[in-house]
Chains A and B, each alone.
Chain A
């Protein structure tokens, strides 16, 4: 039985970032990932840093700004491109929603410009003539999400962290309300601190601690085309995203099969030229297969924005399971019931953009006992009822 400062469970963007920022503070970190690094949601997303569609503008803006200089700090190129992002409107009814969103964002320091349809097409003639207008955020960016994870992991290792893949944490043990150890499929490791960064799979580990961890897997699907010549606007968003992403009630009530599947367009084109066409939101349990109905809706919606895609070939598709918390916001906090447990999950669609700030805040929690950002709205305690019980050492 080995003794270690902090065990991080989960090798996605959050876990790898936490491992890095903790190691920066000379904390001895051991990370366990049951498959490979970035093998789940972290490799099934657009790599988009969407400032425009955030539910947590303060967190998002702070974190997005951390990307500047991150590549040289990590000494790892994760293919960051400041493409800007452009939210397109195809219906008049979307305008009030989009304008309100723009206002809300600028109150938090995220600058968004409104463009007419004509102005959008002057920038990029490939945009559909049916587009009425857009809101554009020049700070938006795209990255290679897997490489971000590898970047954090590499840098963490260089600072002394031990990252074990193909090692599954089966159970987290607490005793008298304090973290005692983690039980992996390769043995038990004593520790005083555990950071849970297991995304949609967190409830499973929470159960063993008698904790209700309120996240559900929310699937997103992406179609990938063959490479194209690079377009002028390479990060396009559907204004309906503001509905399908966050308005569960509207989704539930809708008669439109597309809205019911949570399909609204996100189109990104990283520098290798493939268009990533998405996305969707449904709750299929832990099923991460692609589905025909969603693929159809995703394809049909996409040509409303970029008609040229109707000639594209889809060369592969992917699906990932985002962790969706009860209120759609991340959970970055300690847990009153168990000393030494930190939860860093629920980033739902912003896992990549939130990874730097989450890593930093968790490192602050561990080393200083408090965070530099006032983020009570991301605390675990905001959920009730919460099961409380004391775990007896087994």
Chain B
């Protein structure tokens, strides 16, 4: 069994910033990531086999990511990278179960930082499983790090600035966009604008993206949402409609588009499988993505020695992820008694000042674009909710009608959540739908029980 002072789960901006900060303070670190290259989602790097003709064309995030990776590389002695490594379990005593080279291994750490990020919120509506309907994050990965366009004629639907960035990437790659559909209203946006202006560069970026859309003749439609897609074996039509304050569609406002790809950007869901498995205390905050782990001013979770940082503990963007990672790195070093309280607090206070500066903007953004549960009325009885087990809304409703008001209970009765993705594509929908239809609340509904393995693993990994 390998031991290390600090294990960091997740090689994105939060995890890598934590690694650098901790390494600077003398901590020996192992960063674990499932992918072959570091960067997570937002700093995802193109495959190492590719060449790059013009780095400038890869965008600011690629460059920022590269800079951070260079910082990591500067600490070769302190930071070890375990790529292609899946963290699948936690068995107490700070022992992480991993799969490396097809074998199950245990990594025992003194301190752990969990920075596992997020994934696109799955939003069920008629036709959402059709080939050609993608999550915005997936489209970004395909364009930025694989150099492939997953379609030619796109509709983008969602809420928040991520869509604008994806639209920009699509246009640069030569795709046609029929419309970008934004759920929030212009009124709401204007109301939040003063708070958003705390980060003028980010607002300016947004304006630049909007100007680009205008230039390309791409309609940017507020207060609308996608309501269905259709096609025989792949998507060829998308329908949008105006929505009210609760994001429920307004009858008679439907507009149809011919498309061959749809990009959904309805927010991000934090990966909390590992933090729940470690029995960290969580609370529910819709504006930050749903269930998120609690943490103190040191970024330590309710379990001593387990820290959290980044979007995985609440969706607030890359800038906050970096600073939180640094904070976690500082206090992991403090727990390891490599620095004393005074030193830790001194460095931490500088980071906290930065966080305070970012907090107001991030808070305003999350509030502005917070998902309204009315959008879940889009799903019909025949709409698949659990993609893996093909469980439709009708079965979920039957379970709720039989008295189930807990996500696990609904899972037992319907098989929703029993497939490969282990509920990642359906648990948040089940929770929100049950909240509305069973008049329940997140505390009662809870979530799917976290159990090792938190990702599918080959049985062969246990064999000799």
Q: Which residue numbers of A lie inside 8 Å of B, CB to CB? A: 35-39, 43, 146-147, 150, 154, 165-166, 223, 225-226, 272, 274, 277, 289-292, 295-296, 299-300, 302-303, 309-319
Would you call A36 and B91 a contact (CB within 8 A)? no
Select which of A38, A290, A299, A316 is within 8 A of B459 by beta carbon: A299
A sample of 7 inter-chain contacts (CB < 8 A) reads: A36-B406, A43-B412, A150-B402, A296-B462, A313-B420, A315-B419, A316-B422
- Which listed segment binds A: B44-52, B363-371, B448-456? B448-456
A146 contact from B413, B463, B464, Cβ within 8 A: B413
Q: Which of B84-112 contact A (CB under 8 A)?
A: 89, 91-92, 97, 104, 106
- Tell me the complex Cα distance, A89–B451, Å: 32
- B451 A318 Cβ-Cβ under 8 A: yes
Inter-chain contacts of B457 with A (CB < 8 A): 313-314
| Smallest beta-carbon distance B461→chain A, Å | 8
Choose among A43, A165, A272 the residue that contacts B415 (Cβ–Cβ < 8 A). A272
In Å, the complex CA distance between A318 and B451 comes to 7
Whether the pair B456, A300 counts as a contact (CB closer than 8 A) is no
Q: Is the CB of A223 within 8 A of B459?
A: yes
**Dominant secondary structure of chain B at its interface with chain A:** loop
Chain B residues within 8 Å of A, Cβ to Cβ: 89, 91-92, 97, 104, 106, 402-404, 406, 408-409, 412-413, 415, 418-420, 422, 444, 451-453, 456-460, 462-464
A318 to B449, CA, bound (A): 10
Judging by beta carbons under 8 Å apart, are B460 and A311 in contact?
yes
A-B contact count (CB 8 A): 86
Interface residues of A, dominant DSSP: mixed
A253 CA to B41 CA in the complex, in Å? 52
Bound form: Cα–Cα A147–B91 in Å: 30
How far apart are the CA atoms of A300 and B462 in the complex, in Å? 7
**In contact, A312 and B459 (Cβ under 8 angstroms):** yes
User: Could you tell me the distance between the alpha carbons of A339 and B295 in the complex, rounded to whole angstroms?
Assistant: 51
| A309-B459, A313-B458, A315-B422 given; A300·B453 CB < 8 A | no
The 10 closest A-B pairs by CB, nearest first: A299-B462, A36-B409, A146-B412, A313-B456, A315-B456, A296-B462, A312-B459, A299-B459, A290-B452, A310-B460
Chain B residue numbers with a CB within 8 Å of A316 are: 418, 422, 451, 453
8 Å CB contact of A290 from B403, B404, B451: B451
User: Contact: B464 with A300, CB < 8 Å?
Assistant: yes
Q: Which of B92, B106, B412 lies in contact with A38, CB distance below 8 A? A: B412
Whether A292 pairs with B463 at a CB distance below 8 angstroms is no
Within the complex, the shortest CB–CB distance from B434 to chain A, in Å, comes to 13
Interface centre among A272, A295, A309, A318 (most CB of B within 10 A): A295
Q: A312: which B residues are within 8 A, CB to CB? A: 458-459
**B403, A165: Cβ atoms under 8 Å?**
yes
